[in-house]
Every structure is written in structure tokens, then in C-alpha cells.
A = this chain, B = another copy of it.
Amino acid sequence: MTIADNDTPVTAGFLVIGDEILSGRTKDKNIGFLADYLTALGIDLKEVRIVPDEKGEIVDAVNALRRSHTYVFTSGGIGPTHDDITADSIAAAFGVPIDVDPRARAILEGHYPPGELTPARLRMARIPEGADLIENPVSKAPGFRIGNVHVMAGVPMIMQAMMDAIAPTLKTGRKLISRSVDADLPESRLAERIGEIQETYPDTLIGSYPRATDGRFTTQIVIRSRDETLLAEATAAVEAAVADALGRQA
């Protein structure tokens, strides 16, 4: 892992592929995982898209994301069945041929007993020309990287293992650090002061997140910055604003 030069932000887009997420049959667990993972690396996840198992939709989304971000990650659609069309779609997006890859074939041949590498399973060795393989320690069928796009499985356990394989190859940004302040107040009681603090500290990102707990509204204010000193100053200002609003309420 290398820190990017000049504090250039390193950004990412994430493409989730699968009818089952859009129908509600499967509840996605990969978005929250990847968001946490990239934040920890200092990479800003800037956009997520979920698209169905349709080639045109996958191609358009991959091409939009790979042009806008340092990295793109995808999950889903690289299994052995007829609806697993991610690899072919990525090849189409890059305009390169795709065929059974000898490296991937060797991995699968080593994994299945003799005679069990059926044509369906061999589909999992189809890799776009010019791609590197991403190791899958869980079930062997590899993911791949082509250009700035990392193609992973949709099963969370496998996707997470693939991210661990990818992470050391990524350049990372200067890490965004954060502090949070919990306020036992609805956010509308704090909004004006917090807005003023945001204006005073433009190099911080201040988010205000309302919560409904047992029918009562409370607020969490999260302050983020790449600079420790600014972060400490802005956090102190937020804490003072919360104390002041609580005092006025009492």
C-alpha cells in the first residue's frame, strides 16, 4: 500500500450486480462492508450503483464509474450459471476478447476431482484478455482486475476474502479521521450553529444525523478532516454548541 502523492484524494465507485438485490430477495451486505473497508484505507467511496443481470446495464455502469474514479469494485455475477454474465460484460466494457484463461483453468483443475470440471464450472475460468487474477481462498474460482476495475464474487464471505487480497495493491489517500458528538436533542435545535461551524471550518466535513430512538429524536454530529488540528478545533466548537443548546433547553 502506498500513500498517494500530494494528498490527491483517492476515490472509488462500487457496482453491485444482481437481480436478487433489486427484487429484495437478497439483502445486500457488501456495500456497508466495502464502505467501512475503504474508509479505513483512506479511499473515498463516492458512488454506488446496483444494476440487474443485464449486459447493457453492466457495461454502461462500469464505463461511467471507471472514468470517474481511481478504482472501481464490482460484486456479483461471476459464478457458473447462465445468469453470471459479469466477466463477459466487463470484457465488452473494455472492448477486449474473453476466453477460458489457462491460469484460472489450472486453479479449477487443482480444486475439483478428476472429471468434475464440467463445462458450467469452466465458465468460471472465463477472464477478459489482459486481466490479472484475484485470489479466492474460499471457493477457488478467481476474481480479476482489469485496468482500474476489480471484479469480485457476490457471496459476502468470498468478496471479503478477495478484498483482503486486493488491498495491498491499492494506493491509499491521506486518511480521513473523524470524531462524533452525540446530542440528546433533535437536529433542528442544533442546525444553525452547526451550519456556522461548517462555514468556519471549510476543510472539515460536518454531518448531522438524526436518529429516532423509542420515539425520541436525538442527533449524532460527525466531524471529519484529514488534519488533526482542524478536527480537534471543529469538534470542540460542536461540543460547545451542543452544551449551549442543552443549557437553553434546561
Interface-located stretch among A88-96, A165-173, A192-200, A227-235: A192-200
Contact present for B23 and A80 (CB under 8 Å)? no
From B27, B49, B157, B199, contact of A48 by CB (8 A)? B49
Contact present for B191 and A120 (CB under 8 Å)? yes
Contact present for B118 and A192 (CB under 8 Å)? yes
Contact present for B48 and A188 (CB under 8 Å)? no
Contact present for B217 and A139 (CB under 8 Å)? yes
Interface-located stretch among A1-9, A32-40, A98-106, A126-134: A32-40
From B24, B36, B47, contact of A39 by CB (8 A)? B24
Contact present for A121 and B222 (CB under 8 Å)? no
- Sort chain A's interface into a size bin: 35 or more
Q: A83-B206, A191-B123, A195-B81 are in contact. Are A23 and B39 (CB under 8 A)?
A: yes
Contact present for B80 and A191 (CB under 8 Å)? yes
Interface residues of A (CB under 8 A from B): 16, 19-28, 31-32, 35-39, 44-53, 57, 79-83, 118-121, 123-124, 138-139, 155, 157-158, 176, 178, 187-192, 194-195, 198-199, 205-212, 217, 222, 224
